[in-house]
Structure 1
Amino acid sequence: MHDHTELIQDRIGHLKERLEREITEKICPLQVTAWQVPGEPVSFKEAAAANYQPFPPGTWWGAPWSTWWLHVTGTLPASHAGEEVDLSMDLGFVGDWAGNQSEAMVYTANGRPLKALNPRNHRIGLNHGALAARFTKEGEPLIGADGDVELWVEAAGNPDMTQHLGGPTELGDRRTAGHEPLWQFKGAELSVRRNEVWGLWLDIDVLDGLMRQLPAESTHRARLLRGLEQAADEVDHQGIVAGAGPARQILAGYLDSGANSSAQQMTAIGHAHIDSAWLWPLRETRRKVVRTFSNVVALAQEYPDFHFACTSAQHYAWLQESSQELFERVQEAIERGQWHPVGGMWVESDANLPSGESLVRQFTSGLRWMREHLGVRPDCLWLPDSFGYTGALPQIARLAGMRWFFTQKLSWNTANTLPHHTFWWEGIDGTRIWTHFPPVDCYDCVVSAQEVKKAEANFKEKGVAGRSILPFGYGDGGGGPTAEQVERARRFADLEDAPQVRLGSPDDYFDQAQEDHPQASVWRGEMYLEFHRGVYTSAHPLKNGNRRAEAGLAAAEWLAVMAARTGHPYPYQQLEQLWQRTLLLQFHDILPGSSIAWVNQEAIAEFTAIRAELNQLMDDAWQALLQASGGETVGVSLVNPSQADRREVLTASDRPVLVQVPAMAAKSLTDAVVDPEHPVHVQRGRDAIRMTNGLVDVCIDTRDGLVNSIVDLVSDRELLLSGQRANRLVLHPDYPDCFDAWELQQQYRHSGDPVDRVTDLRVTESLLRAQVRVERHAGQSSFVQTITLDADSRAVEFSVDVDWAERARVLKVDFPLDVAARSSRDEIQFGHIERPIEANTSWDDAHFESCGQQWMLLAEPRYAVALVNQSSYGHDVSPAGGDEHIPTMGVMARLTLLRSPQSPDPHPDQGCHHLVYSLLTDARVESAHVEAARLNQPLQVRSGTVELPSTARIEPVHGTAVIDAVKQAFDGSGDLVIRIHEAEGARSRVRLLLDRDGCVSEVDLLEDPIDEPTQQLPASTCSRVELTLRPFQILTLRVSQR
């Protein structure tokens, strides 16, 4: 038999193209008039009252980020009165991906939301289907009795920013995007879908796609090819419309061929990943939510077996604000069991940069909102697109009631492949959560045969497990699942040589998968993404704003607790709103700095506003405390909102003072001032300046302004490698080959320009503080470095004031340390993680840039130093260079201070920055936390005198614990909630000391009682609680002090 395989395959490909062109039969064009909104989007009521102009096909429209309203009218010819009629509209769509270009929302004549239009979803049934039936039943048919049609369309002229990810563009800033129209309107019409032609196109799409995935020698492939050829013969003989039905009959047997006995089971779950902001601003995401959700609820009504999983309480809240009617349709879909709220978080947060308490509040704010407004409490953490996952997440998620975790982002790794798709993920404290990575390696598949077969082949557990998830639906910019995708999934239900695809819910998958494979493998520790390492540093104002907001929220909550004891109302609503606004800014494309300029600018302004409102709340609380205590309105008090006892130098009344203030307490400045035990002295030499306080000795070479010696005088050891310089700024080239704002690639290490030239050097000194100020200029930027040593301090503080004007460069600061560390202990959320310094394996080598919270500790058996930062998350540590003649056991530790990517924001970080970090000598975990509190939660200097004892403090028996939050309970009871975590990574016993008696109970993150308490707590009221904590345990206590 002659082989015509390639010829037949080409013929089938052309047949699909012919069929696609004939799916729609045009009836008549519709008349369209338009009005361009002069500014930001407006309501339907305002739009309907505007003056409209003719808008014929071919009209160019849509300057970047503009909004247009279209008024669509027409009459259905009587000759088509009995047919199933659609609205079809083309705004000028290019390509086929929904959500990254022009989009629109269609409304009825009375302004009720109908459905959205995008490149893959541009038809709306007007007199057929569940959506049209709903409106007809409610007395508002979409086609009037006389055939009249009237619709309104809100069209978004969004630029396709995906076309500009490779280089700078001004389109991402509305001030510079220009006014040239981007889209050419193609027209609106009434049409009929030829369902048999559409069905045949789908049948061939699935069978042809499967055939091409099978081995060339496969018998099934040959038979599929023959069946497709016979179907093509039928169409060619009778014509497309007449031949579609008979051709489908030929293919029916192939679609019902029966799956192999070993076929994998794939649960197809509809999904619409909507980035809360990214290549579009926040205001556009609100509209994307409306558009996407409107399409999904319509699809759910049309297909009763369809299921949809959707995250982010913020998105539901936006929907409720934008359209109560659509929100109620979503609620109906939830009640029918088709729509499944998942994730439980306020937004799909970044999972490295936010603090532990922020991740807790992602869950508490998200879950509480969903429980109140949707009537559900999700138990699946659904976080598919964040840039790596902290090792603290399993414990946080389980304490929030999550049973399962779904993601896929680590499929983007560039060097190493995670060895599992279905496994237990064990966090740093030993908590495990059942985890699934879909083997299709994406969250937005279209249910093509290529994707289905890829998932089947890729599934790493296929020898011991048979189930996986197939998430489908257009994503990133929304869009969601389509009818074509659902139809494909149905056709893969029972097909030979293909997985059995079943439309289902997350619970359908996870319940069965865990039951079928209970002894899954275990992955321990963090899940590091070998990609997107630049986001730890990009857009520094966002990192700084986030750290300041987190500190301000903690301080405001504690001060509000203290003020509430005086009768001052606890600001529940204001604090929750401020938390929600902060949580939104921690979305995984906002806080990382990987969004367009509009998003970055808006987020920076919002962080500033949040900080101002927090300051006002703290001012109000302080005034209440001042009035209730009868304290003097003259004088000054020092307020310590942190969990650490503080002894440090600060500036009060324009002079440095050494003060001592207990944790979570307030003292008058007079009572807080103490005499130094170790005052500072400065020695000036010809080429050096030496600052010493009896604990630490710091020497600065005046020729280059660099630190050439740091001596721990107590331990009598030099901390810098011989002949090396510390606090050296280095400018490295930063040219990633893709994803500019996201990527920091290893080649930056190949070269670098030290910033060593000094333009000015000055010294200031007193017994309490000595400073060396060094001015420099390099590249296009200027730098002012300040080195500070305070009385009684074991830390050397460094600050850099930068006027940054670089392009494609990354700024690092070097510390060559004479410490024989084999690993770096980096603080993460609720603990720390040990990361190897040597790059002995491909996993180590790929981990050349790390993300931490406030400190990294570098230790040899009996000594350690810590680098502590104020808002610099990215860093790296490598073995110090040596040779065969001079063994070197030290390390080079570097903080990553600034980057200057050019896409998608062409001007991030340009301008002035103030960066602060310190080197802590003879460091321990406990002292690193104290130093981190000094840099990140400064003592507050407040007018008036109030004495506040420590609200809560930790007294170690053995081990270390840290207080993370002191607040009032969510339920308004007035109960105190205290969250702590074990910080050493060891079993610890500590005492929690309260300033007044209370009844103490253990609760979960939502402050509900837990079934299996970990602590034996006193049954009666007390102010002293003994606690035994496992390594890195998070413990939430509720204290009733009424």
Structure 2
Amino acid sequence: MRDFRTVTTLMDKYKDLTFSQSQVHIYKIIEENDKGIFKKVKERVKEGRWESTANAYVEGDLNIPDGESIVRHIIYSKKYNREKFGKNPSVFWSPDTFGHPHSIPTILSDAEIKYYYFMRCGKGMPLFRWRGKNGREVLAFNSIYNNSIKPETIIPNLIDYLKKYDIDDFLFVYGVGDHGGGPTIDDIERKKKLDEKPCMPDFIFSTAENYFKKVEKNKKKLPVVNDELNFIFEGCYTTHCDIKRGNRNCERKLLSLESLIASSGKKVNKEEIEKLWEKTLFNQFHDVIDGSAIHSSYDFSNRITEEVNKGVRKIEKAILESLKKKDKKKITIFNPLGWERDEYVDVDLPEGYAVEDREGNISVVSEGKILCKKLKGYGFKTYNIKKRKIAENKIKKDGFKFENEFYSMEIDPETGLIRKLYDIVNKKDVIPECKSLPEDPSSWWAERSGNLIKVLWEKPHPMSAWIIGNIYRIDNLIDAKKIKVEEGKKIVKIVIEREYGNCPVYQRIFIYRDFPYIDFEFETDWKIQGSTKTGVPMLRVNFNFNIENGKFYCEIPFSVMERKNIPREYPSLKWAGLFEKKWGVSILNRDKHGYYVDGNNLSLTLLRNSYEPDSSSDSGHHKVSYRLLFGKYSITDVMKKAFEFNFDVMKIDGEINKKGIFSIEGNVIPTSFKKSIDGKGYILRFVEVEGKKGKAKIKFTKKVKGLFKSNIVENQGKRIKVKEGEAILSFSPYSVNTYKIIF
């Protein structure tokens, strides 16, 4: 409010003054609370003096949100700019963002965004072509954003720029900030005085878009950066776990709700969905989601998260109630993902019951769960409930040695650590046997084990929420107070109870029949705070894998990034893994983003209790789920398994007699199926992550009126031929592919 009033007042006085503003959320605040100022803004936009660079709802983080969240930032922001200002902004403004994934040029170029401005994590070049993994580019400019108009701040940068480029136009971004203020009278008056000096270059109040358009003619001469623009503030990948957990939860619930709406064909107020997304996007403001805001910010953001959860539950319940036929002897499962999957599902049925699908396949209830197989993508499957006891082959157990058809695992009975893990299918050690010396059976192998909780103490340092400090002590949690094994028909649960200081620590390991993964839970009530005296406590869970020269991969928005296998903390979305030849091992997560790699060691960072600006950022209750995946899986397979671990199926009591609308075949990953933003059709999006071109086949079960190649902002393009309910969709390496379907 303050900044908008200041700038509009200054514009009345200084007729050549221009201004750029980058967040739709701020425009909405002004529109709702000061209609007079908003009217003036619209007038200045029309004059070309006020530039909206708002291609995002807020200036968000880009390493932590899902690719579909970044798309929602863009499509809702462009919609707002179009409706309120009659504009389609071409600049994406990321001045303070803590790093920029390599997939961003791919996303922006497909969203009709040509230009990128940022400050952090540059490559030493103020102006360059930033090339995405798929070869598409945006024109990028890198500079300090909160500058002032003074010869000593402008001229040295200008000289450096002129030495690098034979270009006369230079962009200088100024204004009071961090976080607001804008231009000042002092800046404007200094600019006027500089205009009077003949030895000075011409200073022109302008816009970012005007600058980019002028230098674009020299585009072919500019250097190319074909890489991500990372890393900085690695502590932000983990600090304030609550906001990151809330964000991931909102993302998956909204995407699942959208696929339910699209698959069911039910009409829902699209403004309601947009408002729920806007609340989720608000929490992605970089200082908030990165854990570097004050404590009261998270009280507010956590309330917003709960509002989103309640809103989703309300809409979801209404749709499912309208679809289902009540029948106490039936349950229906909806798969919100776009491919066939197997999944264990929680059910309210006692032992001695089973469910049977229409093909006669039976799954018995074990520990309150059933294994549902071949759940069609974006499809419903109904099961009959039957009282039936079936003889089941239990998981083999010999003391603390366990074996199913996929792997064998040995737990040390004293520590609860994984002492050996063997891949039966591929005849390969995942974690080689940790042997002690014959002379001393108790001699230690803990660092070479699996599922080891490490408490790392960072020395006291400034900006503790942002920065991971020097580690001065590591405490390995190798003492178990109690180990309990709970055997079921299809599931074995191992519970390890520990203690660190005054904090209880629980680790749970889940072994399944007919399911090739190992699931883990970490739970604690963390009470040990960071301080300027003791530093920052940080917890990781570490696995030492049988890989000698592993390539290290991380998930980034809509893609995968191979990164250097050197000791450091990296950001990743739902998984990260090590791969050697055709075999690999990955740690999947449901709400974490920080991974530490060091050779054949891979850790998931669980929490960081920093002390500034919030003195208790990660104090309190934590329950973290992660999954171990190993074997001969392609990168596409791993991505899909990580999606499955994150996106729960929906269980409905009763029958839903509804077919899926389509199925898709090919080496691609569907990321979204939803109603189009104009309400006239449906949007299907899929990505390619292995760098291979190819073709996908889509088979419809419903008559299609039109199938069109679209772009991220859902502008309709070329019509795709549909013959006998089938269509072939070509895709290029590392591409994001969007299609509009009209039934």
The TM-score, its normalising length taken from structure 2, stands at: 0.91
Q: Deviations over 1:535-559 (max 9, x none)?
A: 1101111111111111100111111
Other-structure match for 1:552: 253
Aligned partner (choices 754, 759, 770) of residue 481 of structure 2: 759
Other-structure match for 1:323: 34
Aligned partner (choices 392, 417, 427) of residue 132 of structure 2: 427
Distance 1:934 1:765 in 2: 25
Other-structure match for 1:789: 511
Other-structure match for 2:215: 513
Q: Deviations over 1:694-729 (max 9, x none)?
A: 111121111000011111101111111452211000
Distance 2:151 2:10 in 1: 22
5+ residue gaps, structure 1: 1-289, 412-417, 840-847, 880-890
Other-structure match for 1:472: 174
Say which SS state the counterpart of residue 293 (structure 1) adopts.
helix
Other-structure match for 2:290: 592
Question: Is the aligned partner of 1:711 residue 2:711?
Answer: no
Question: Is the aligned partner of 1:734 residue 2:458?
Answer: yes
Other-structure match for 1:954: 664
CA distance 1:463–1:510, shift in 2 (3 Å) = closer
**Which residues of 2 match residues 883-1032 of structure 1 at below 5 A?**
891-922=600-631, 923-956=633-666, 960-973=667-680, 975-998=681-704, 999-1010=706-717, 1017-1018=720-721, 1020=722, 1023-1032=725-734
Distance 1:649 1:896 in 2: 26
Distance 1:639 1:673 in 2: 23
Distance 2:16 2:417 in 1: 68
Distance 2:456 2:197 in 1: 55
CA distance 1:950–1:771, shift in 2 (3 Å) = same
CA distance 1:811–1:771, shift in 2 (3 Å) = same
Contact 1:646 1:930 (8 Å CA) reproduced: no
**Which residues of 2 match residues 630-669 of structure 1 at below 5 A?**
630=325, 632=327, 635-654=330-349, 655-660=368-373, 661-669=375-383
Question: Is the aligned partner of 1:487 residue 2:189?
Answer: yes
CA RMSD, Structure 1 to Structure 2 (Å): 2.2
Distance 2:700 2:389 in 1: 29
Aligned partner (choices 256, 261, 273) of residue 575 of structure 1: 273
Contact 2:329 2:385 (8 Å CA) reproduced: no
Question: Is the aligned partner of 1:340 residue 2:25?
Answer: no
Amino acid across the alignment from 1:664: Y
Between stretches 909-918 and 640-649, larger displacement belongs to: 640-649
Rg (Cα) greater in structure: 1
Give the drift of 1:656.
2.3
Amino acid across the alignment from 1:506: A
- Comparing both chains, which one has the higher relative contact order based on Cα–Cα distances under 8 Å and sequence gaps of 6 or more? 2
Amino acid across the alignment from 2:335: N
Other-structure match for 1:445: 147
CA distance 1:701–1:459, shift in 2 (3 Å) = same
Aligned partner (choices 306, 309, 314) of residue 611 of structure 1: 309
CA distance 1:656–1:523, shift in 2 (3 Å) = same
CA distance 1:382–1:823, shift in 2 (3 Å) = same
Aligned partner (choices 872, 893, 905) of residue 592 of structure 2: 872
CA distance 1:464–1:676, shift in 2 (3 Å) = farther
**Which residues of 2 match residues 78-227 of structure 1 at below 5 A?**
none
Distance 1:570 1:776 in 2: 48
Amino acid across the alignment from 1:624: S
Q: Deviations over 1:62-94 (max 9, x none)?
A: xxxxxxxxxxxxxxxxxxxxxxxxxxxxxxxxx
Distance 1:929 1:620 in 2: 31
Distance 2:692 2:635 in 1: 11
Between stretches 1021-1030 and 797-806, larger displacement belongs to: 1021-1030
Other-structure match for 2:353: none
Distance 1:401 1:647 in 2: 38
Distance 1:1027 1:461 in 2: 47
Distance 2:464 2:390 in 1: 49
Contact 1:852 1:874 (8 Å CA) reproduced: yes
Percent of pairs with identical residues: 22
Contact 2:640 2:669 (8 Å CA) reproduced: no
Distance 1:558 1:637 in 2: 16
CA distance 1:672–1:578, shift in 2 (3 Å) = farther
Between stretches 512-521 and 584-593, larger displacement belongs to: 512-521
Give the drift of 1:730.
0.3
Between stretches 975-984 and 676-685, larger displacement belongs to: 676-685
Amino acid across the alignment from 1:301: D
Other-structure match for 1:805: 527
Contact 2:18 2:206 (8 Å CA) reproduced: yes
Contact 2:395 2:512 (8 Å CA) reproduced: no
Question: Is the aligned partner of 1:699 residue 2:699?
Answer: no
**Which residues of 2 match residues 847-858 of structure 1 at below 5 A?**
848-858=568-578
Contact 1:720 1:817 (8 Å CA) reproduced: yes
Distance 1:915 1:763 in 2: 20
CA distance 1:1005–1:730, shift in 2 (3 Å) = same
Distance 2:392 2:670 in 1: 29
Contact 2:395 2:513 (8 Å CA) reproduced: no
Contact 1:490 1:502 (8 Å CA) reproduced: no
Give the drift of 1:672.
12
Give the drift of 1:403.
1.0
Question: Is the aligned partner of 1:532 residue 2:532?
Answer: no
CA distance 1:989–1:857, shift in 2 (3 Å) = farther
Contact 2:58 2:281 (8 Å CA) reproduced: yes
Q: Number of paired residues?
A: 703
**Which residues of 2 match residues 3-82 of structure 1 at below 5 A?**
none
Say which SS state the counterpart of residue 590 (structure 1) adopts.
helix
Amino acid across the alignment from 1:787: I
